[in-house]
Amino acid sequence: MRRLVSSPRSILAALLTLTLCAPAGVASDEGPAPARADRPEFPASHGARLADVWADLAARDLNGRVWTAADFEGRVVLLEFWATWCAPCLADFPHLERARAGYGDRDLVILAISLDRSGRDDLRSFRLRQAMTWPVLFDGLGAAGAVARRFQVEYPPRSLLFDRRGRLVAVDGRGSTLDAALRVLFASE
């Protein structure tokens, strides 16, 4: 049997193999995760209309409010698909809070759509512990829920940013990328 030798050539080959086989989609503060072949893309990509996709949906948040397409008219909307067990999702919370604090009074709507299957009370407790100040939609069905299915979201994190005309303008913007997209959307006002 041949011994593995720690030559520069074998180390380079190992690094190349690890790089090529590393999972894509790891969230960072510097931009959207790379596209993955196994992740369905949002219908019609950029330019898709929120009202067309949301259309007949009526989704309830943890406070009991029912959200419909009419709630989004003339507003900038960020749909944030997340789960309590998703570390990249939790890392986004400070950015979401800054966005809510900075633009909430200028008609930014942040809706966090939970892909958890835990109980409603567990999710309420989690929301309080995390100091989430934006509405959380939850149906307990995870990716099988109506909103997740309609937007073709199979797992978190996934974010969809729509401008005031309801057009999709950014997919999976995280951290500073989300901050920049919001600055551009609100700069024209």
- On the question of pLDDT at 33 being above 60, the answer is no
pLDDT band at 177 (very low <50, low <70, confident <90, very high): confident
Dist. CA 55–CA 92, nearest whole Å: 28
Per-residue pLDDT averaged across 36-54, rounded?
Answer: 57
From start to end of 39-137, where are the E strands? 59-60, 66-67, 76-82, 108-114, 136-137
Say which residue, 45 or 54, is predicted with more confidence.
Answer: 54
How far, in Å, CA of 40 to CA of 59, rounded? 22
Looking at the structure, give the CATH architecture of the domain made up of residues 45-187: 3-Layer(aba) Sandwich (3.40)
Q: Is 119 helix (H, G, I), strand (E, B) or coil?
A: coil
Q: Counting beta carbons within 10 angstroms of the beta carbon of residue 16, is it exposed (0 to 12), middle (13 to 18) or buried (19 or more)?
A: exposed
The rounded distance, in Å, linking the Cα atoms of 83 and 123 is 10
Domain boundaries, the chain: 45-187
Asked whether the predicted pLDDT for residue 171 surpasses 80, the reply is: yes
pLDDT over 90 for what percent of the chain?
Answer: 34
**158 phi and psi angles, rounded to 5 deg:** -150, 130
> Residue 95 phi/psi, 5° resolution?
-65, -40
Burial of 9 (0-12, 13-18, 19+ CB in 10 A): exposed
SS3 label, residue 149:
helix
Paired tokens of 1: 């049997």
Interval 116-143 mean pLDDT: 91
Give me the pLDDT at residue 146, please: 86
